Structure 1
């Protein structure tokens, strides 16, 4: 899995490519934790390059959301492929996360 971080205003855009599974979800966890500890609380996780997410990946995203919510922070997801979108829908996580079609759409929701 590859992770890249871009910043747009006060929003961190995390670009994830590859599988988010038990073997490598800790990479995403470490990235999000370090940004949260540095004071960031607004995130877009761009998942256009993600073709698989396991329960461990869902847990990482949920844990990060729980850390930023008390401070008015938010994590929005963008660019989910059909299989990944199905995982969020079936698990009920689509009601927990704001899922957007694009980074642009997600950024507009932060304004």
Structure 2
């Protein structure tokens, strides 16, 4: 069983979504629901903290891409923080490093949103 935990917190001016575990075909729909809920509730600036993400599959990438497209329609953006090297490799190999901005920490991503 692949357990994934997700927590949300507001940290002006963004909402931070903290993901823990694996983002794969079995549970990417959970992340999809969290992201949709955040966007539909008006969050236009979202940081996905991936400090504790051990793995991401193509279905996880698809969820993030769709959320990114949706939030950009309203002038917002999704930034990613704390990716482990092997998770970052998945984004680079898939070309998603051209779609998302990556940061070492939530504070760095927040600072970029404030600029």
Partner of 1:91 in structure 2? Answer: 94
Aligned residues: 111
Aligned pair partner of 1:43 in 8, 24, 46:
46
Task: List alignment gaps of at least 5 residues for structure 1.
Answer: none
The Cα shift of 1:40 comes to 1.1
Q: Is 1:108 aligned to residue 114 of structure 2?
A: no
TM-score normalised per structure 1? 0.98
Once residues 66 and 56 of structure 2 are traced to their aligned partners in structure 1, the CA distance between those partners, rounded to angstroms, is 15
Partner of 2:60 in structure 1? Answer: 57
Q: Which whole-Å deviations, capped at 9, do the CAs of 1:17-73 have from their partners, x for residues lacking one?
A: 000000000000000101111111110000000010000000000000000102110
CA RMSD of aligned residues (A): 0.6
